[in-house]
C-alpha cells in the first residue's frame, strides 16, 4: 500500500519508519530542499522514549542526553529511514483528489501520482490540513506568545547564565549541557497575532530584535549573536483543535492535527507517539483506513488533551503584567475541564501485519 507523507519533520520521519516496519510503502515529500535540522532541546515523556526504544534508537538518544536537540533527533530518524524510504525534497502537495480507491496527488514540481492514503505531517501551518479540512483560522488557536530559539557558540560567562532577562511579557533563557560546546538561547515574548512570511528567517529575526530592542543586560549581545545564528527557529505558540483528524483517505499526524505549542515542551513526543499509533492501527486494521483512523483517534485523544493543557499553562506564565491574555480570551482556553481529560495511555504492541518486516 503506497502512503504519501507530507513533511519530513519528527512526525513524518517516525511515520515513515513505522509504516515501512509494518510493510507499507511510504513516500515522504518535504518542501525544504533538505532535512530541516534546526530547533532547540526536545522534551521526552516516557511513552516517547518507549517508541524510540522500539525503533532501537534509545541508546543513541541517551548518549546525547541530558539535552537532545531537535536537529539531532531528526538526524537519527533520517539515518534510520533513508535507505528504505523514498524522500522527495523541494516539493509540496499542490492539490488532492480522492476517489473510492485512492488519492490522486498533484505536486508543485513533480509529476502527479496516486497513493492509497495521504498523511499530513507538515506541521502547525499544514498545507494538507488547509487543502482538505479548511482554512488555518478555523482550527488554530493563538496563545498570544512567540518563541525563538537558536544556538550559540562558546561564549564564556554567557553560556551558563540560565535566565538572563525576565520582564512583563518577555523572557530570555540560555541553557548549556556539560560536555557539549556552546548553548541554546530561547527568547519568548507576548504579542497578539503578527503577520509575517513563515519562510522568511530574516524577517523573523527582525521581529524578535524589534521586540527585545531597548532591553538591558546581556540581551543586546544575544541579539547580535542571533543575527548570524544557525539552527534558528521562530514560531507562534498556537494549538490546533480539530474534532476529527481524518477525512476519507487523508489523515493528520503531529502538529498538523493537534499542535500543543512549543510552550508544552512535548511536540516531538506527541509526534513520535502519534506516528507509532497511526502506523500500528493501520497494520492491525489490515490497511482499512476508516477503521484505523478511528482507532488512532481513540488512542491519541488523551495524550493530546494533556499536552495541550500543558501548552496553555506553559504559555500562561509569560503573561503576568500584560493585557494580552484577556485580549485573546485565553482565560476560557484554560478551562479546568481540559485537565480532566488528561491520562497516561499505555502503548499497544502492534505486531507487523504484512510479510515484509523491516528492519
Ligand atoms: C526547523 C524547525 C525547528 C523547530 N524548532 C523548535 C524548537 O526549537 N522548539 C519547539 O518547541 N518546536 C520546534 N519546532 C517544532 C517541533 O519540531 C514540532 O512541534 C514537533 O516536533 C512536532 O513535529 P512535526 O513533525 O509535527 O512538525 P515539524 O517538526 O514542524 O515538521 C513539519 C515538517 O513539514 C515540512 N513542511 C511544511 N509545509 C510543507 C509542505 N507544504 N509540503 C511539504 N513539507 C512541508 C516542514 O518543512 C517540516 O520539515 C521546530 C520545527 C522545525 C521545522
Residue 343 pLDDT > 80, yes or no?
no
Q: Which atom of ligand 1 lies nearest, measured to the CA of 256?
A: 26
Q: Given this model, what pLDDT does residue 350 score?
A: 87
Lowest mean pLDDT among 108-117, 191-200, 241-250: 191-200
Atom 10 of ligand 1, nearest CA residue? 262
* 337: pLDDT strictly greater than 60: no
pTM: 0.92
Q: How far apart are CA 170 and CA 192, in angstroms?
A: 13
Q: Cα of 330 to ligand 1 centre, how many Å?
A: 24
Dist. CA 250–CA 3, nearest whole Å? 10
The DSSP-derived string for 151-184 is: EE---TTTTT--EEEEETTEEEEEE--TTSSSEE
> Is 3.40.50.12160 the CATH classification of the domain at 2-138+241-323?
no
**Ligand 1 atom with least separation from CA of 149:** 8
Residue 131 grid cell: 487543502
Average pLDDT over residues 231-243: 95
What is the domain partition of the chain in residue ranges?
2-138+241-323, 143-237
> Whole-angstrom Cα distance, residue 100 to residue 182?
54
Greater confidence (152 vs 339) lies with: 152
Residue bearing the CA closest to ligand 1, atom 4 = 39
d(CA 291, CA 207): 45
Distance CA 156, CA 167 (A): 24
Spatial neighbors of 276 by CB under 8 A, at least 6 apart, are 14, 18, 51, 54, 347, 350
Strand order in the sheet with 2-6: 86-89, 25-30, 2-6, 117-120, 250-252, 246-247
Express each pLDDT in 262-299 by its tens digit. Answer: 989 899 999 999 999 999 999 999 999 999 999 999 99
- For the segment 154-158, the average pLDDT, to the nearest whole number, is 70
**Positions of E strands within 12-60:** 25-30
Site to probe by mutation for ligand 1, drawn from 5, 11, 52, 123 as the one with most ligand atoms within 8 Å of Cβ, is: 123
Confidence band for 180, pLDDT divided at 50, 70 and 90: confident
Binding-site residues, ligand 1, Cβ < 6 A: 6-12, 29-32, 36, 38-40, 70, 92, 121-123, 127, 149, 233, 254-256, 262, 267-268, 271
- Per-residue confidence at 169, pLDDT binned at 50, 70, 90? confident
Q: How confident is the prediction for the chain on average, in pLDDT?
A: 88
pLDDT tens-digit profile of 191-208? 999 999 998 999 999 999
Distance 123 CA to ligand 1 centre (A): 5
pLDDT reading at 11 higher than 90: yes
Give the residue among 280, 235, 284, 229 at the shortest CA–CA distance from 255: 235
Q: What is the pLDDT of residue 42?
A: 87
pLDDT for position 233: 94
Taking residue 97's Cβ as centre, other Cβ atoms within 10 Å add up to 11
* pLDDT given at position 112: 98
Q: Residue 24 Cα, ligand 1 centroid: separation in angstroms?
A: 24
Pocket test for ligand 1, best of 13, 18, 39 (most atoms within 8 A of CB): 39
Asked whether the predicted pLDDT for residue 53 surpasses 80, the reply is yes
Q: With bands split at pLDDT 50, 70 and 90, how would you rate the model's confidence at 108?
A: very high
302-330 mean pLDDT: 76
Atom 21 in ligand 1: residue holding the nearest Cα: 268
- Alpha carbon of 122 to ligand 1 centroid (Å): 7
Amino acid at each position: 500500500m503506497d502512503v504519501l507523507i507530507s513533511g519530513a519533520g519528527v512526525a513524518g520521519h517516525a511515520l515513515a519508519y513505522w509504516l515501512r516496519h509494518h510493510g507499507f510503502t511510504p513516500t515522504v515529500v518535504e518542501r525544504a530542499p533538505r532535512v530541516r535540522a534546526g530547533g532547540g532541546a526536545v522534551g521526552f515523556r516516557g511513552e516517547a522514549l518507549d517508541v524510540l526504544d522500539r525503533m532501537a534508537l534509545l541508546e543513541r538518544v541517551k548518549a546525547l542526553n541530558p539535552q537532545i536537540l531537535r536537529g539531532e533527533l531528526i538526524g537519527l530518524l533520517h539515518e534510520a529511514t533513508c535507505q528504505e524510504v523514498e524522500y522527495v525534497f523541494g516539493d509540496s502537495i499542490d492539490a488532492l483528489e480522492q476517489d473510492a480507491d485512492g488519492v490522486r496527488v498533484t505536486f508543485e514540481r513533480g509529476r502527479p501520482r496516486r497513493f492509497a492514503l495521504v498523511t499530513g505531517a507538515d506541521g502547525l501551518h499544514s498545507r494538507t490540513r488547509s487543502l482538505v479540512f479548511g482554512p488555518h483560522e478555523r482550527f488554530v488557536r493563538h496563545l498570544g506568545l512567540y518563541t525563538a530559539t537558536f544556538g550559540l557558540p562558546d561564549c564564556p560567562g554567557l553560556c551558563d547564565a540560565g535566565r538572563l532577562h525576565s520582564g512583563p511579557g518577555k523572557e530570555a533563557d540560555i541553557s548549556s549541557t556539560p560536555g557539549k560546546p556552546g548553548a541554546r538561547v530561547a527568547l519568548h515574548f507576548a504579542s497578539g497575532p503578527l503577520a509575517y512570511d513563515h519562510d522568511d528567517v530574516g524577517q523573523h529575526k527582525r521581529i524578535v530584535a524589534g521586540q527585545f530592542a531597548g532591553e538591558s543586560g546581556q540581551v543586546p549581545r544575544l541579539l547580535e549573536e542571533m543575527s548570524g545564528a544557525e539552527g534558528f527557529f521562530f514560531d507562534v505558540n498556537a494549538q490546533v483543535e480539530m474534532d476529527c483528524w481524518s477525512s476519507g483517505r487523508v489523515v493528520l499526524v503531529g502538529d498538523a492535527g493537534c499542535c500543543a505549542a512549543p510552550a508544552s515542551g512535548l511536540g516531538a513526543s506527541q509526534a513520535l507517539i502519534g506516528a507509532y499509533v497511526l502506523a500500528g492501527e493501520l497494520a492491525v486494521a489490515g490497511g482499512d483506513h476508516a477503521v484505523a483512523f478511528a482507532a488512532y483517534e481513540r488512542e491519541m485523544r488523551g495524550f493530546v488533551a494533556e499536552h495541550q493543557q500543558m501548552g496553555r499553562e506553559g504559555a500562561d506564565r509569560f503573561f503576568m503584567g500584560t493585557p494580552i491574555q484577556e485580549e485573546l480570551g485565553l482565560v476560557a482556553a484554560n478551562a479546568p475541564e481540559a485537565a480532566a481529560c488528561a491520562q497516561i495511555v499505555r502503548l499497544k504492541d502492534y505486531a507487523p501485519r504484512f510479510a515484509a518486516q523491516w528492519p
